[in-house]
Chains A and B, each alone.
Chain A
Amino acid sequence: MFRKLLIANRGEIAVRVIRACRDLAISPIAVYSEADAAAVHVSLADEAVLLGPSPSSESYLSIPKIVAAALKAGAEAIHPGYGFLAENPDFARAVVEAGLTFIGPRPEAMEIMGSKTTARRAAMQAGVPIVPGTVEPLATFSQTKELAEQFGYPVMLKAAAGGGGKGMRLVHSYDELLSAFETAQSEAAAAFGDSSLYLEKAIDRPRHIEIQVFADTFGNTVHLGERECSIQRRHQKVIEECPSPINDPELRKRMGAAAVKLARAVNYTGAGTVEFLVAGATREFYFLEMNTRLQVEHPVTELVTGIDLVREQINVAAGAMLSFRQEEIGWHGHAIECRVYAEDAENNFVPSPGRISYLRVPSGPGVRDDSGVELGSDVSIYYDPMISKLAVWGRSRDKAIDRLRTALDEYAIDGIKTTLGFFREIVRDQEFIAGNLDTGFISRFKQRRDLATANTPESEGQIRARDLALIAAAIHYLRLQRETSQKTAASPGQTRWKMSGRRAVARGKAR
């Protein structure tokens, strides 16, 4: 086993890998940018190496700096987390060339799956069904226009090198095509350094269901069941669960077999995820892409299977055999995860950077919070706005939802806008509770909610809570007034009434 391991990432995933290192008695080494000098992941590591300035291109995306940091600190292996360099075959190669172990698949497998066009070709060859669309990157806009007409609107434009919803646009009609084409191209160029796009027919009310696969270097390849990730905004997942509300052992078996077949076809090793679109009505599934890394939403699989995926990744990379066989994997109960983003859900999910001025993290039976922040942490503009992942486990989906509702109500983050309030409403939504999910869930949910709030009169309890909120604001206002006037010293002309009010507040405080 490794003695020292460097984590080429930040935030909650760096913390998650540090925990697995501790379990295995491996010494974790953190890397950080200037913005992250006092970050949580740095404070939890044994050693920390500064990479450079805050922009990720000069820090977390710099292959030479990370490899140099690993050599300097004497690391034997590098865990890339997700995002940043996790799916960059050049990085994997550079790590191996430096004589270190890369915790992930071989660069060749990453290369095939890294480009959506070659990935689609590999899936076709392995006999895994794919969404109708182009296999070659689009050359020109006029070709795109022709192809879009041929497949019929709506169509999806996707970055060939894509992931995380970047460089991806749903196009309903020709009017939107040019703007979407240009935006997707420039977003793809900015995010991946490759502006090439491809086009797919958009599936009506699709569910996004993915299969977790795992392979060791001895030829054992297994699947750990599915995760349903249909609730998305901007094509990025926000709520994930395991098992899928629509899944049954039969569908899991078929999808699992397809995923394993694809993983075997590219000689995959380590943890990977094969994403599928599932047509809501027919349950037909189509290969979407394979992520050659640990997924953000891996905790729901861990909660339901009891398997520590990060620990297993490190074991497999160190040359061990998988610690479980396919027939030993069991799925027990139900788990749901919410990604807490520093975003304003009521304002088109725009990022909301800032300092966390208050933090109350939920706890209790079946509650897990994977977080990368603390009270006083700065959520910077430089990185992804996800700050934590709240995951719960229950014996059934209903019981998991009950726990999620309680945990979300308990969770409090002030100083920045977060998606917590939005999740609190979703877990009370009848369609969510019924498990009627698809990737258009959020926009329909918003319409339902606006209609409901317009038609529901305020209850007595709501009026009372609102009045108390007004009173709290007034109390705070008066307190600030008092503090300001104390600072500027008592000025003449103040009424006796005001002074007595302030004295009263001051006395209240003294208690």
Chain B
Amino acid sequence: MKLIAELAGTEHGLIIKIEQQKVFAEIHGRNYEVEIRERNENHYLLLEGTRVFDCRVEQTREKFTVHLDRNEYSIRIIDPKRLSSAQSGSRHDHGAVEIIAPMPGKVVRVLVEAGAAVTTGSSILVVEAMKMQNELKTPKTGTVVSVNAEPGATVNAGDVLAVIE
């Protein structure tokens, strides 16, 4: 089975074969023979020789977060056999950026209107969550294409609150 695993912007080719509780894998020419012991539905103890790797895998949208020792790896698995076009596209073109709500909360102030010119670092709106007001700033200089939230509106993490082009 060939898979591609993307981690921090780098794609790693991964050949993997699972036989009973044994896993054979090859990554960049490095070969691994690993024994799997399941501790839980998403908690695996991997043994490579005598080395112990305690891995917990969380699924978040299209990614897997693997907790291993004191590190956290955010990994996207691409299955070339299942690759669909749905995974690409939907981003804004021409270098437009979306101002996205980083957490669920309430919009307390909108500081710009559509059509306004903004410079890198200027505040676009203020969202309150867990008693903290967070100013959301534009990472680029440009024009406000749209503002999709009004003061008082409740927003969810990931909502596009404004678009800057």
- Given A384-B130, A414-B56, A474 contacting B72 (CB threshold 8 A): no
Taking a contact as CB atoms under 8 Å apart, the answer to whether A358 and B109 are in contact is no
Taking a contact as CB atoms under 8 Å apart, the answer to whether B57 and A186 are in contact is no
Q: Is B163 an interface residue (CB 8 A)?
A: no
Q: Is B18 an interface residue (CB 8 A)?
A: yes
**How far apart are B61's CB and chain A's nearest CB, in angstroms?**
13
**How far apart are A110's CB and chain B's nearest CB, in angstroms?**
20
Taking a contact as CB atoms under 8 Å apart, the answer to whether A504 and B19 are in contact is yes
Q: Of the 9-residue stretches A99-107, A199-207, A332-340, A349-357, which lies at the interface with chain B?
A: A349-357
Interfacial chain B residues near A424, Cβ < 8 Å? 70
Interfacial chain A residues near B153, Cβ < 8 Å? none
**How far apart are B71's CB and chain A's nearest CB, in angstroms?**
7
Taking a contact as CB atoms under 8 Å apart, the answer to whether A412 and B67 are in contact is yes
**How far apart are B22's CB and chain A's nearest CB, in angstroms?**
8
**How far apart are A424's CB and chain B's nearest CB, in angstroms?**
5
**How far apart are A358's CB and chain B's nearest CB, in angstroms?**
6
**How far apart are B63's CB and chain A's nearest CB, in angstroms?**
9
Interfacial chain A residues near B12, Cβ < 8 Å? 470
Task: Count A-B contacts at CB 8 Å.
Answer: 166
Among candidates A183, A469, A480, residue contacting B68 with C-beta atoms closer than 8 Å: A469
Tell me the nearest residue of chain B to A476, going by C-beta. B57
Taking a contact as CB atoms under 8 Å apart, the answer to whether B128 and A190 are in contact is yes
Taking a contact as CB atoms under 8 Å apart, the answer to whether A474 and B14 are in contact is yes
Tell me the nearest residue of chain B to A468, going by C-beta. B53
- Chain B interface residue count, CB cutoff 8 Å, equals 61
- Given A351-B103, A409-B69, A475-B44, A234 contacting B1 (CB threshold 8 A): no
Among candidates B7, B38, B77, residue contacting A466 with C-beta atoms closer than 8 Å: B7
Taking a contact as CB atoms under 8 Å apart, the answer to whether A508 and B34 are in contact is no
Interface string of A467-511 (1 = CB under 8 A from B): 111111111111011000000000000000110010011011101
- Chain A interface residue count, CB cutoff 8 Å, equals 57
Q: Which of A329-347 contact B (CB under 8 A)?
A: 344, 347
Taking a contact as CB atoms under 8 Å apart, the answer to whether B16 and A474 are in contact is yes
Interfacial chain A residues near B112, Cβ < 8 Å? none
Taking a contact as CB atoms under 8 Å apart, the answer to whether A473 and B77 are in contact is yes
Among candidates A353, A415, A473, residue contacting B104 with C-beta atoms closer than 8 Å: A353
Could you name 21 residue pairs across A and B whose Cβ atoms are closer than 8 Å? A179-B123, A186-B133, A190-B108, A347-B102, A353-B130, A381-B130, A384-B131, A409-B70, A463-B30, A465-B53, A466-B7, A468-B32, A470-B5, A470-B7, A470-B12, A470-B27, A471-B27, A472-B44, A472-B68, A477-B3, A481-B79
Q: A468-B32, A468-B34, A505-B18 are known; give 17 further A-B pairs, CB within 8 A.
A: A186-B126, A234-B132, A348-B102, A350-B103, A350-B134, A383-B130, A384-B131, A467-B27, A469-B66, A469-B73, A471-B27, A474-B16, A476-B42, A476-B59, A481-B79, A501-B17, A504-B19
